[in-house]
Chains A and B, each alone.
Chain A
Amino acid sequence: MSAHEEHSETPGIGETVPRLREEGDAAITDPAVPLVGDGVVPRWLIGLIFFALFWSGAYLFSYSGGFSADVFDYLPKFGPLTSGPQAAPDPKVIGKALFSQNCITCHQATGQGLPGQYPPLAGSEIVLGDASNRFIAIALKGLQGPVTVKGQNFNNSMQAWEGQYTDAQLAAILTYVRSDWGNNAPPIPPEAVKQMRDELKDRKEQWTFAEVMKLPAKDVAKAGGSEQQAANKPAPGASPAASASPAPQQK
């Protein structure tokens, strides 16, 4: 073995060999392996290493969302984390979702209904009028036979929804219907639906339009609603309809 190799025992990162190649080395003109010196690590680099490790620890612990798998934002969010749908249900959002499940097939996503078949909800007198008891009554029990909306005649049938939805759900749907497509009428609180449900609990069959118009006009939405709304008030900004309600009532 040549002198060149005796200095190094084990393979590794670096053998500290503070000497140059020797005379008589087999690989003198074209060596295969470089030698390694034992130079010192500069002070500034050592300082930098400690600083970087310290910094990275601090950074990692400040911006890691508690090392949890379901925190995605590196900055902690102030205030309640769940201001989501469960925490502050916005009746219009829920109402829209429910509307899209059933109502949409006839009344359409545009609220325009289908000409000659299903009446529009956008701009409908029943939907927007002060006689909200009639609006709720129709939704609860359904409607059958000829009906006139916005000057157009329809003759069809809508099922009763009272078995399908709870008070809160139906209230949400009706509130939504009163707020989209240019509609702007006060929300229907769940209490109003409950009140009507109790009032009409003996009625089993669908209404005809004539019958429902005989119900004495009463704005149940207004009567039970206002304090309830305040108590129920969702997170700020979630329900513009609630704050906008006084305006349309002046008409």
Chain B
Amino acid sequence: MSVPNQTADLQLNRAAAGNGSVLRGPILLFFVSGLFWLLIAVALWLLSAFQVTDPFSPLVFPDVAWLTYGRVYPVAMDLLVYGWASMIGVGTAIWILDRMAKNPFPGGYLPLLAGIIWNLGLVFGVWGVLGGGSTGKEWLEFPLYAAFPIWLAEIIMAIWAVALVIGRRSKGGYISQAFLLTAFIAFAWAYGSANGLLQFFKVSGAAEPAIQWWYFGCLISLWLTPLGVGIVYHFVPLLIGRPLYSAKLAAISFWGIVAFGGWTGIAQILGAPLPAWNQTASVVANVLLVIPVLAFATNLHLTMKGSFDVIKPNLALRFLVTGGMVFGLASIWNALTTFRSVNRILEFTWAVTARTDLFLIGFVTLICFGAIYYTLPRLVGRSWKYTRLIQWHFWFSIIALGTLVFDLTIAGVLQGFGQMDPKVPFAAVIDIIRPFLLGYELAAVFIGVSALLGLASFLTVFVNPAWAPDSKEAPEPVINEEVSLA
């Protein structure tokens, strides 16, 4: 099948350069729309944070249906996942898979088509949910006419990815390929079957939440996780110029995530009217998921060993490695809080929101920006000019994340203990966390600022002169000590 020939060699060069690839357009489309949706998501999030903190805020519009908290907040979260994280993840996955496959005909129109349909789906989704068509199921709010296009785009991407890997010219394989392929297939399956069962076949009764939260587990652990982990596995060794430490550890992390990931979701609703064994299995899965995560973290650590000093100047690496570290932290925190003894206190509180945010704003968002900082210059053939800006972006992201997660976790713990005590009236429980809601507002502002900094950095790549692919200098943002201190 893979006879080495002229085309393949040409192809190799094309792929190595990146710049000039047929897939450049689609990848850019995914990147630009991802950033666009990030901004919308963050703006809506900010609005919702102000609304939920203070009912007398001028940002509360009790007469305007589509601007009420119950519509705005879900849209913000959905856009963060399906707009921002998924788009950047898909764009980067296209880049990685294409460069590995070295296929002369990578089907450029398929990802382009998927990108357009996906964006249409998101537009319908925002329109639908704000307009009062929400399904009222967390993370699956999009009505059928929005969910269907998104699902279609996922299917196209899954078919494209599988076809690309099957028809590849290169013989080489790498762990990131396995993660990305799995992500594409699992997400298309999960999103399709959750929306199909709930909205198309209209399953009703207690099976609904089962399907809904099974899907949430897949969304987190079999879509966003493998995307992020695949990206880290791919870029970190390339950035430090050393091989990945261990194939075996990589295998453990892959099979562990695939085996346990799908079971993790039900633990979000422990105590729900679902069979006890479903819930216990989900608790166990959340705990067992720590194994592949530790395998991943260990692999990353041992790969980096001796090169840690690169993290500081190389900003793409800094984002990726920090993201990987936050991922480890988030999983361990997740496992600890899933135990019933802890969960009975924290369930239903802001601490749960913080847990999800740690994953979305910490792990996923950091990785997404790391991926952009790595890929974009190679894609457009320019390198970053204002590394200072990117540095600011990094620190603001960390501050925003820290503020958000600390604030909400403490609020959640207090709220949880308050709720456990029947002598504390419900309104008093909310009074306890009121000051923390101000912190939440502040965190939302920080997140807005870091998103803007990210966007500004993104744009600055276009002001720099061209970068030659065979130059000795790396195109990703690297702090040149003398320049940045000046």
Chain A residues within CB distance 8 Å of chain B? 1-2, 4-6, 8-21, 26-27, 29-42, 45, 48-49, 52-53, 55-56, 59-60, 63-65, 67-74
Contact = CB atoms under 8 A, between A and B. Distances in A.
A32 to B, nearest CB: 4
Given A11-B177, A72-B274, A63 B249 contact: no
Interface in B265-280: 273-277, 279-280
- DSSP majority for the A interface? loop
Contacts of A9: 171
B38 to A, nearest CB: 27
Contacts of B246: 14, 36-41
Contacts of A12: 173, 178
Interface stretch (B7-15, B29-37, B39-47, B397-405): B7-15
Given A9-B171, A10-B171, A37 B244 contact: yes
B245 A34 contact: no
A33 B16 contact: no
Contacts of B378: 30
15 contacts: A2-B12, A11-B165, A11-B171, A11-B174, A14-B174, A14-B247, A17-B243, A27-B16, A35-B243, A37-B246, A37-B247, A39-B302, A53-B288, A56-B287, A68-B277
Nearest to A37: B243
Given A29-B472, A41-B252, 4 more contacts: A34-B234, A38-B247, A52-B288, A52-B291
Contacts of B275: 65, 67-72
Contacts of B248: 14, 38-41
- DSSP majority for the B interface? helix
Interface of B: 4, 8, 12-13, 15-18, 99-100, 102, 165, 168, 170-175, 177-178, 233-234, 237-238, 241-252, 254, 273-277, 279-281, 283-284, 287-288, 290-291, 294-295, 298-299, 302-303, 340, 378, 469-472, 475
Nearest to A58: B284
Given A13-B251, A15-B247, A48-B291, A42 B277 contact: no
Contact of A13 (B247, B276, B475): B247
A94 to B, nearest CB: 25
Given A8-B173, A59-B284, A34 B244 contact: yes
Contacts of A60: 277, 280-281, 284
A72 to B, nearest CB: 6
Given A10-B171, A14-B174, A64-B277, A52 B16 contact: no
Contact of A33 (B99, B165, B241, B247): B99
Nearest to B475: A30
A152 B226 CA distance: 79
Contacts of A42: 298
Contact of A52 (B100, B250, B276, B287): B287
Contacts of B244: 14, 34-37
Contacts of B251: 13-14
